[in-house]
Amino acid sequence: MRKVLAAAFVTAAAAYAWPAMANDGLMNIIKDPKQWGIQTGDYANTRYSKLDEVNAGNVGKLQVAWTFSTGVLRGHEGGPLIIGDVMYVHTPFPNIVYALDLNNDGRILWKYEPKQDPNVIPVMCCDTVNRGLAYSDGTIFLHQADTTLVALDAKTGAKKWSVVNGDPKKGETNTATVMPVKDKVIVGISGGEFGVRCHVTAYDTKTGKQVWRGYSIGPDSDILVDPEKTTDLGKPVGKDSSLKSWEGDQWKIGGGCTWGWYSYDPETNLVYYGSGNPSTWNPSQRPGDNKWSMTIWARDADTGVAKWVYQMTPHDEWDYDGVNEMILTDQKMDGKDRKLLTHFDRNGFGYTLDRVTGDLLVAEKYDPAVNWATKVDMDRSSPTFGRPQVVSKYSTAQQGEDVNTKGICPAALGTKDQQPAAFSPKTGLFYVPTNHVCMDYEPFRVSYTAGQPYVGATLSMYPAPNSHGGMGNFIAWDNTKGKIVWSLPEPFSVWSGALATAGDVVFYGTLEGYLKAVDSKTGKELYKFKTPSGIIGNVTTYEHKGKQYIAILSGVGGWAGIGLAAGLTDPNAGLGAVGGYAALSSYTNLGGQLTVFALPN
């Protein structure tokens, strides 16, 4: 094993010496602000655009330029890609793909509709969403709900190849996008609520052949760590770092799923992402830290070998998945130029790390309602450095099985779920869509059966008490200081991805269906428009024939909107979200539409 990993590190070092080997075509598209070539805007996940025709002075004049119905209801997450004069639009299950001609009023150039077994729907956690397509070298990549990864010809929609990444009969599904890096496409998997042992996999972009696979949990050879070279807060992880943190064989059904966002640094050749909750949700059934669930991973793109890891919520007791995006920035901190990684975790803490070394620099609450922990220990001499200081009153493990622990903040869907934040290099601020929600949580003993839910907890959710009464905030955050700069209250969680632009405008959507534009410096609302359905998609911008456009998918759903999306009425359904967001039905309804905005001619 050691020889194999040593060889892998040599290979990685050689690859780092040749940055030109990266996917130059995609990287050129990403650098062109007229196009939107990757779901996250760029490899760094900044969701920032250099376009500035639409700016703080004129955004109030935006008008609807055109619309497109996807023909599918339920939750529309992600956003369109714009490659040249073609827009690529996706849908939730059954994951239809449309290629639209921007030169011809959005005429459908081709349509791809996969044939999937509808039995995959009840296996999917938290709605039938899909976070979007990816593009590389003339190929559109679709990762279907049933885990089939499909490569389509970008010009014709013809299938080039497909490969199956998991088995829905075991609870393995997909909701995430994928990320092309060099000659590989990086793919995750869902299923933590079904006892799936999850992984990240790299497939060859030309053939679909598996190149490497790194599990979140298990033996060193499975999780692709080198006990002596892979570090955790600057120290080697040591032999069997994951196995030692689990009792018996629980790790084999231990979760750690990888359904969030991915980022990539061509200079370090590292792929960054987070792993999700350990299984089950009943912490009494899995003593230990449950490594490496709830972890930020930095893996070599060529070999998959982890350079460093950092576990944010050891022995998770609240379902605070660590899958949210890792935003890569080069900023000054304490007078020094630093290569930073900023992560807004479900657990309510905003983390800033050195993305080269994994050194933890900042860990502060980005919602004052967070109460499950007092702080993260930042004393480097402390044996608990980097660990959250858990409050006993809100510890579901300490309170025990069949005890309803009340008033935990945030709720299981976190202070922020997958809805991605944005960063503006002009202001140096991060713009974060958040949930302002708390919960009561009662764990119970549960048995594992392959393909059946393996949760072991009941929940109820409600707005954070002693606050503005709403369930969300949209905030501006200083990652070097760990401080909220400004905060805008919202009646419901902000479940849409943000977009920051060089025009000093930040866009986001609301669950009621509003597209909003605010001043990036002050947060002042500059524009809003009510779309036909709740927005859980991510705002996108592009330029066509010299004109800037803003695009957003609307279609209520996701975890917060699961009651509407799936027609559920039991308040405890949707792991408590149905009751928590019951009032949403008074503001919006099911839909599936792309709305594109522009300034008047």
Tell me which residue of 446, 454, 416 sits closest to 432, measured CA to CA: 416
Measured from the Cβ of residue 403, the count of other Cβ atoms closer than 10 Å reads: 13
Mean pLDDT value across residues 132-150: 98
What DSSP letter does each residue of 365-412 carry, written as one string? ESSTT--SEEEE---TTSTTTT-EEE-GGG-HHHH-TT--EEEESS-T
Q: What is the per-residue pLDDT for 22?
A: 52
- Residue 489 tokens read as 């209250």
Note the pLDDT tens digit of each residue in 522-550.
Answer: 999 999 999 999 999 999 999 999 999 99
Strands (E), 70-190: 81-83, 86-90, 97-101, 107-112, 134-136, 139-143, 148-153, 159-164, 179-181, 184-187
Distance in angstroms (rounded) separating the CA atoms of residues 290 and 450: 20
From residue 527, give the alpha-carbon distance in Å to each of 58, 283, 284. 10, 45, 49
For the stretch 455-498, pLDDT in tens is 999 999 999 999 999 999 999 999 999 999 999 999 999 999 99
- The pLDDT of residue 592 is above 90: yes
What confidence category does residue 507 fall into, taking pLDDT thresholds of 50, 70 and 90?
A: very high
Confidence at residue 1, expressed as pLDDT on a 0 to 100 scale:
44
Evaluate if residue 104 carries a pLDDT over 70.
yes
DSSP 576: G
Ramachandran region of residue 43, left (φ > 0), alpha (ψ -120 to 50) or beta?
Answer: alpha
CB 592 within 8 A of CB 91: yes
- 3-state secondary structure at position 358: coil
Q: Is 175 annotated as a binding residue?
A: yes
Helix (H, G, I), strand (E, B) or coil at 26: helix
Structure tokens at 432: 């974060």
- Cis preceding-peptide flag for 410 (omega within 30 of 0): yes
Q: What is the mean pLDDT of residues 342-362?
A: 99
Give the pLDDT mean for 225-238.
98
d(CA 167, CA 164): 8
Q: Which listed residue (319, 321, 345, 367) is catalytic?
A: 319
3-state secondary structure of 580: helix
Q: Which residue has the tokens 């608990």?
A: 384
Both tokens assigned to 254? 């231990």
Q: Name the phi and psi angles at 302, rounded to 5.
A: -85, -35
Six token digits for residue 140? 């559109």
Please compute the mean of the pLDDT values over residues 159-169 and round it to a whole number: 98
Q: To the nearest whole number, what is the mean pLDDT of the chain?
A: 96
Find residue 338's DSSP bridge partners: 331
pLDDT beyond 90 at 373: yes
Question: In the predicted model, what is the mean pLDDT of residues 201-219?
Answer: 99
pLDDT digits (tens, 9 = 90+) for 510-525: 999 999 999 999 999 9
Closest CA relative to residue 98, chosen from 553, 560, 404: 553
Instruction: State the pairing for strand pair 483-490/499-501.
Output: unpaired
> Which of 13, 7, 9 shows the shortest CA–CA distance to 229?
9
Give the per-residue pLDDT at 24: 87
Other CB atoms within 10 Å distance of the CB of residue 248: 8
Distance of alpha carbon 475 from alpha carbon 366, whole angstroms = 9
pLDDT of residue 530: 99
Q: Provide the residue ranges of all domains of the chain, joining segments of one domain with +.
A: 2-598
Average pLDDT over residues 360-381: 99
Spatial separation of the C-alpha atoms in residues 345 and 543, rounded to whole Å: 33
- Contacts (Cβ under 8 Å, ≥6 apart) of 482: 350, 352, 362, 363, 364
Phi-psi region of 558 (alpha: psi -120 to 50; beta: other; left: phi over 0): left
The whole-angstrom distance between residue 49's C-alpha and the CA centroid of its chain comes to 19
- pLDDT level of residue 587 (50, 70, 90 thresholds): very high
Task: Assess contact for 33 and 61: CB atoms under 8 A.
Answer: no
The pLDDT-based confidence of 14 (bands split at 50, 70, 90) is very low
What is the three-class DSSP state of 301?
A: coil
pLDDT at 343 (0 to 100): 99
The pLDDT of residue 23 is 80
Annotated ligand binding at 53? The verdict is no
Tell which residue, 141, 57, 156, 173, has the closest CA to residue 108: 156
Determine whether the annotation assigns residue 74 to a binding site: no
Does domain 2-598 correspond to CATH entry 3.40.50.2300? no
**Any binding-site annotation on 319?**
yes
**What CA–CA distance (Å, rounded) separates 95 from 92?**
5
Q: Can you say whether residue 208 is alpha, beta or left, with left for phi > 0 and alpha for psi between -120 and 50 degrees?
A: left
Residues 18-47: tens digit of each pLDDT: 344 458 899 999 999 999 999 999 999 999
Give the whole-angstrom CA distance, residue 140 versus residue 148: 14
Residue 3 has pLDDT above 80, yes or no: no
Q: What is the pLDDT of residues 53-101, one digit of tens each?
A: 999 999 999 999 999 999 999 999 999 999 999 999 999 999 999 999 9
Amino acid (1-letter code) at residue 440: D
pTM given for the model: 0.95
DSSP per residue, 454-503: ---EEEEEEEPSSSSS-SEEEEEEETTTTEEEEEEEESS---SB-EEETT
Residue 152's φ and ψ, nearest 5 degrees, are -115, 145
Mean pLDDT, residues 254-267 taken together = 98
In the residue annotation, 504 being an active-site residue is answered as no
The answer to the question of whether 364 is labelled as a binding residue is: no
pLDDT single digits (tens) 287-325: 999 999 999 999 999 999 999 999 999 999 999 999 999
Element (H, E) at 339: strand 336-344
Q: Is 317 annotated as a binding residue?
A: no
**By mean pLDDT, which of 6-15, 135-144, 510-519 is the weakest?**
6-15
Q: What type of residue sits at position 518? A: V
Give yes or no for residue 7 having a pLDDT over 80: no
Q: What's the pLDDT at 168?
A: 97
In single-letter form, the type of residue at position 470 comes to: G
